[in-house]
Amino acid sequence: MKIVVSGTPGTGKSKFSKKLAKELKFKYLDIKTFSRKNKIYDKIEKNCLIIDEKKLVKELKKLKGNYVIDGHLSHYLKADYCVVCKCDLKVLKKRLEKRKYSKQKIKDNLDAEIFDVCFIDAKKIQKNVLVLDTSKGYKMEGIVRLIK
């Protein structure tokens, strides 16, 4: 089984994915590390990998077994479940400031969250989309029960 966890940067994908993988005893896969290892990126700009989604999906499809896949492009892989992490905008702004992102990068990410980019894209591709607001807290047991 594959579970993809998507969402705007800072919405809590990594924290949630790692916990979920632990609970379900699935492997955890971070797209950034995976893309570096498998050279799936076209170029590196301002320390960001510019990833080709088609190449990424092709490589992810080769994985066998149970995985929780963490990344804002993960929803391009058709999975058993897709979790989209969401976050209150004020909270998200604070989280991104903590990361010392530039004003422009913070604005771009807040815009992506406002326009629900990951969710809208995910809905076009996935059959089971779950939305999780990490600024409101969540109970892992409930989510695990739903997926199992």
**Where do contacts with ligand ADP occur on this chain (CB under 6 A)?**
7, 9-15, 85, 95, 134
101 near Mg ion (CB under 5 A): no
Which amino acid would we find at residue 54? Answer: K
Our CB check for Mg ion shows the closer of 2 and 13 to be 13
Is 100 within 8 Å of 37 (Cβ atoms)? Answer: no
Our CB check for ligand ADP shows the closer of 27 and 58 to be 27
Which residue blocks in the chain are alpha helix, DSSP H? 13-24, 31-37, 53-60, 89-98, 103-114, 117-125, 140-147
Our CB check for ligand ADP shows the closer of 58 and 111 to be 111
Question: Using CA atoms, how far apart are residues 106 and 95, in angstroms rounded to an integer?
Answer: 10
Q: C-alpha dihedral over 91, 94, 3, 44, to 10 degrees?
A: 150
38 near Mg ion (CB under 5 A): no
CB of 68 to Mg ion, least distance (A): 12
Q: Which of 4, 7, 14, 137 binds Mg ion (CB under 5 A)?
A: 14
Q: Which stretch binds Mg ion (CB under 5 A): 10-18, 46-54, 98-106, 135-143?
A: 10-18
Closest residue to ligand ADP, judged by C-beta, is 12
Identify the H or E element spanning 66. none
